[in-house]
Amino acid sequence: MKFLERHAPLLISFILSIVICASIINKQGFIIDFQNGNQNTPYEITKLICSISGTILGFLLTAVAMLTAIMDRKLVENMRKTGHYRIFIVDCFVNCFMFLLTIVSGVLCLFTINPYLSYIFYITILFAITALFLLIEQGRRFLLIFTKV
């Protein structure tokens, strides 16, 4: 039970991402049929997802650096004593890893053609949505920490 409680944001965001991807697959089909000269559409979407993911990854790493810069504050000291600081940092790096997976799968998507393009495109969307849902929870935690400091 502690495992589910501890990893609830990751599990919830992954399940929501699967539901969203399943609805997209249900609407578009498993292999996307590119018609009317729309061959570049998945590549453009993937480039956009990769650039946004890279930017957010940079912001997350900067926020972690800011948090480590205020280590001498009372709130951060109390977080370290109770173990919340370690949990927060681990969750932040899990979120960074999800954005990194989004970027890697997006770059792979740029170098593939159909039918493999469709598979990797859906995986990229799955990673991106999971990372964004995790970012919402991480942003809430950052807001709580930085408003209390």
DSSP label at residue 54: H
Name the pLDDT band for 56 (thresholds 50, 70, 90).
very high
How many residues are given for the chain?
Answer: 149
Residue 148 and residue 24 in contact, taking contact as beta carbons nearer than 8 Å = no
The predicted model scores a pTM of: 0.81
User: What is the C-alpha separation between 121 and 78, in angstroms, rounded?
Assistant: 43
User: What is the C-alpha separation between 42 and 71, in angstroms, rounded?
Assistant: 43
Looking at per-residue pLDDT, the higher value among 69 and 51 belongs to: 51
pLDDT, tens digit (0-9, with 9 covering 90-100), for 80-105: 888 788 888 888 888 999 999 999 99
